[in-house]
A and B are shown apart, each in its own frame.
Chain A
Amino acid sequence: MEFSWTAEQESFRRDVSAFIKETLPENWWSRVPGEEPYSEVTLEFCRKLGAKGWLTPHWPVEYGGGGDTSPWRAAILNEELWSNGEPRGSQYMNTNWIGPAIIANGTEQQKRHFLPPITRGEALWCQGFSEPGAGSDLAAMKTSAVRDGDDYVINGEKIWTSYARGAQYCFLLARTDPTTTGGSGISIFLVSTKTPGFRIVPINGILDIHVTHHMTFENVRVPAASRLGPENAGWTIIRDALADERVGSPRHIRAAIILDNVIAQAKRDGRLSLATLRQAAHARSVCRAARIFVYRIRQLRAAGDAGAEAYLARCAIVNAERAVAEVAADVAGPEGLISGSLADGEYRTTLIAGLGGGSYETQLNLVARLWLKLPKAS
């Protein structure tokens, strides 16, 4: 057991940090992650990151990755990028879990078609999961995919989808066995957003830093070859893929930076009090705890399976972001209501933290069932 970085890892972190500073416009760090998911800045940044092999260092070499089986380069990259406003935009999903899901379950044709653009930083994806009647209860989804010769015909709707407007492809869950409920009978489809009958409409909301969308599917015909993995086996695939995603966004790292900036600003403005310092120190400890816990999960994942512990770490990340948002709001007072202020940005991104990638309460349910093994309601 040891908790230090090697000289090589520290050097890699410095290299990544320097690259980010050279490549991004000044003050890009102050963007809330996801604020510009497919702006020219993010597209150009991802192309450059891909050219350096830093989009997918943890992927196997044969699929354009760096072949690094250790979890730490990817962890360092994620931290440095998230600290700088996540300049990969929506492409963080590609490298974190969409690509790995295709590598693990795709046909050779799918791998050849979908993976190279991801490694080059040229692919934009969205995920078609939640439905109006199936949010946290994802297994209640009803969007259907009915086999018709060599095709499937998809009907239904998805909602609260991030990054859909600029996406080229959708990682779509649909029910292929209409006799089933729950997790069985679901399949995954890799669908072009240009397919006739596929419609995307943005949803007006309070999160102007992060737009979500409503997607409808009206007789969307896709070839059977666009199905990822066996028919009706989608739930297992998505569960494994999202296990990466539980700790894929190091929100706690950025939250700790925001906290430093909030305190620095309070100091400059002569607003620093003992109460604020204490509250901030506790928030810093929560961020630090989330950080070390996430490293633990990354090592478990690299060794095979983090199991239920990953759900605990995800909650720790949410707690970190909330703790910092509280300090930011208290220090800023009414000035924190101004769009673009530190407190405003942290408040809004914290609202997302407890919901994106599965709600906080869903994680607590999973901890109760799988980690604590508490009895089920009879």
Chain B
Amino acid sequence: MDFEFTREQQHILAQLEELVSIEHPLPATSKRPINRELLETLRLRGLLGLSRSGGRSGVLDSSLVIEHLSKAACIVPVATQALVLPLLFAQDGAEIATIKDSSSDGPYRFAGEATILIAFEGDAARAYPIDPAESSSVRSNYVYPLAIPGPPRGRALASAPAAAVRRRQRIGIAAECVGAMDATLAKLVHYLSNREAFGRKLGSFQALQHRLSELSVLLESARWLSREAAWLDDDESSALGAAYCTKAARRFSWEAHQLCGARGFSIEFGLYEHTLRLQMLSTEAGSIQAHADAAARIAWKPDEKLVTAAGEYS
């Protein structure tokens, strides 16, 4: 049990600091494209293939990358590229992949630019080639480019156990939530520490302080639970991590806008970069309750009819 970063992890985080700090701000729009330049840099530096190392540390290292880039609000499909594609392909390619739930046609993140569709078929998850031109983009404000993917074109390129893909998907979601919650709280604290109303700084009101403190409890708990899940890389830990982090994400999204007032709705203020992303993350991979169902199934082995009756994700 050791909560300190290793020298390798410090090196990874230093590289990320350097990359994200030189990133040019992107125009604020709800239909921003993927930052392909950043994604390619990550690939060339080996930061997308860390989970291939075989040891537990590799998945944890990947989750640290995801957490960091999410905090910086980067639009890159890093969770899928760093945690899921290594289960399917031997090399870190430049293709963009999107993951389709069995219970919904979407829309999904990155589907408009994806050339690979990962679909669940029974106990397997298969990667199919798709044509981005056949995807249907949707009107949405949830930060990421969202689209309904087109149909598979051709035979499966690769397959992996469905449980392993879901596990990695959940680890990625948890890490992304942590990064976005971290950024949200930092913005909230800064705003409420400076904004004056009723003759004093808003952040000096105990009613608001307690709410921010409770968000901190959620964030720091989520941070360590997410990292532990990545280290353990098992079905139960990933489901519990995703359940906790997505539930916290939903609360963060509400609370942040409530605490910032109408200013939080403006593009200029930029809060939406994190809060809408959190709301989106809470719906991904079957949503909050699907993670809870998966965790319950593993922990208590209930009658299968109970958890499948509600159209459970897995």
Question: Which residues from chain A sit less than 8 Å from chain B, CB to CB?
Answer: 1-5, 9, 72, 260, 263-264, 267, 272-274, 277-278, 280-282, 284-286, 288-290, 292-293, 295-296, 299-300, 309, 312-313, 315-316, 319, 361, 363-365, 367-368, 371-378
Contact A281 B240 (CB under 8 A): yes
Q: Please name 23 pairs of A and B residues whose Cβ atoms are closer than 8 Å in the assembled complex, sorted by A.
A: A1-B4, A1-B6, A2-B231, A267-B302, A274-B307, A277-B292, A278-B296, A281-B291, A281-B295, A282-B292, A285-B247, A286-B221, A288-B237, A289-B222, A290-B221, A292-B225, A295-B224, A309-B220, A312-B213, A315-B214, A367-B217, A372-B216, A374-B203
Interface centre among A1, A5, A361, A364 (most CB of B within 10 A): A1
12 additional A-B pairs beyond A285-B243, A286-B221, A295-B224, beta carbons within 8 Å, are: A1-B60, A260-B300, A263-B299, A272-B303, A274-B293, A277-B302, A281-B239, A281-B240, A316-B220, A371-B216, A377-B206, A378-B200
Interface residues of B in 199-255 (CB under 8 A from A): 200-201, 203-206, 209-210, 212-214, 216-217, 220-222, 224-225, 227-228, 231-232, 237, 239-241, 243-244, 247
Contact B201 A277 (CB under 8 A): no
Q: Roughly how many angstroms separate A371 CA and B9 CA in the complex, as a whole number? A: 25
Q: Which residues of B contact A313 (CB under 8 A)?
A: 220
Interface centre among B1, B57, B289, B300 (most CB of A within 10 A): B1
Contact B3 A278 (CB under 8 A): no
Checking A263, A277, A285, A299 against B240 with a beta-carbon cut-off of 8 angstroms, the contacting residue is A285
Contact B200 A288 (CB under 8 A): no
Q: Which residues of A contact B307 (CB under 8 A)?
A: 274, 277
Q: Roughly how many angstroms separate A94 CA and B142 CA in the complex, as a whole number? A: 54
Minimum CB distance partner of B237 in chain A: A288
Contact A282 B189 (CB under 8 A): no
Contact count band on B: 35 or more
Contact A364 B210 (CB under 8 A): yes
CB distance from A366 to the nearest CB of B (A): 8
**B22: CB under 8 A from chain A?**
no
Ordered nearest first, which 10 A-B pairs have the shortest CB separation? Answer: A368-B209, A289-B221, A285-B244, A281-B292, A367-B213, A277-B296, A364-B213, A281-B296, A375-B201, A281-B295
Contact A295 B1 (CB under 8 A): yes
Q: Roughly how many angstroms separate A365 CA and B208 CA in the complex, as a whole number? A: 11
Contact B213 A377 (CB under 8 A): no
Minimum CB distance partner of B186 in chain A: A372
Question: Please, what's the 1-or-0 string for B1-23, where 1 marks a CB less than 8 Å from any CB in chain A?
Answer: 11111100100000000000000
Minimum CB distance partner of B292 in chain A: A281
Q: Roughly how many angstroms separate A260 CA and B300 CA in the complex, as a whole number? A: 8
Contact A292 B210 (CB under 8 A): no
CB distance from A254 to the nearest CB of B (A): 17
Contacts known (A292-B225, A365-B209, A374-B193); A299 close to B3, Cβ less than 8 A: yes
Interface centre among A263, A316, A368 (most CB of B within 10 A): A368
Q: Roughly how many angstroms separate A55 CA and B247 CA in the complex, as a whole number? A: 39
CB distance from A277 to the nearest CB of B (A): 4
CB distance from A109 to the nearest CB of B (A): 38
Interface centre among B9, B60, B244, B309 (most CB of A within 10 A): B244
Contact A364 B193 (CB under 8 A): no
Inter-chain contact total with CB atoms closer than 8 Å = 172
Contact A3 B244 (CB under 8 A): no
Checking A274, A285, A299, A319 against B1 with a beta-carbon cut-off of 8 angstroms, the contacting residue is A299
Contacts known (A263-B300, A277-B307, A278-B296); A5 close to B1, Cβ less than 8 A: yes
Interface residues of B in 255-281 (CB under 8 A from A): none
Contact B306 A277 (CB under 8 A): yes
Checking B213, B243, B296 against A372 with a beta-carbon cut-off of 8 angstroms, the contacting residue is B213
**B177: CB under 8 A from chain A?**
no
Minimum CB distance partner of B232 in chain A: A3
Q: Roughly how many angstroms separate A272 CA and B299 CA in the complex, as a whole number? A: 14
Q: Roughly how many angstroms separate A1 CA and B6 CA in the complex, as a whole number? A: 6
Q: Which residues of B contact A264 (CB under 8 A)?
A: 300
Q: Roughly how many angstroms separate A61 CA and B53 CA in the complex, as a whole number? A: 42
Q: Roughly how many angstroms separate A293 CA and B225 CA in the complex, as a whole number? A: 8
Contact B225 A289 (CB under 8 A): yes
Contact B227 A1 (CB under 8 A): yes
Q: Roughly how many angstroms separate A285 CA and B1 CA in the complex, as a whole number? A: 19
Contact B221 A293 (CB under 8 A): yes
Q: Roughly how many angstroms separate A278 CA and B309 CA in the complex, as a whole number? A: 13
Q: Which residues of B contact A364 (CB under 8 A)?
A: 209-210, 213-214
Contact B189 A374 (CB under 8 A): yes
Checking A1, A277, A299, A365 against B206 with a beta-carbon cut-off of 8 angstroms, the contacting residue is A365
Q: Roughly how many angstroms separate A6 CA and B209 CA in the complex, as a whole number? A: 40
Q: Which residues of B contact A296 (CB under 8 A)?
A: 3, 224
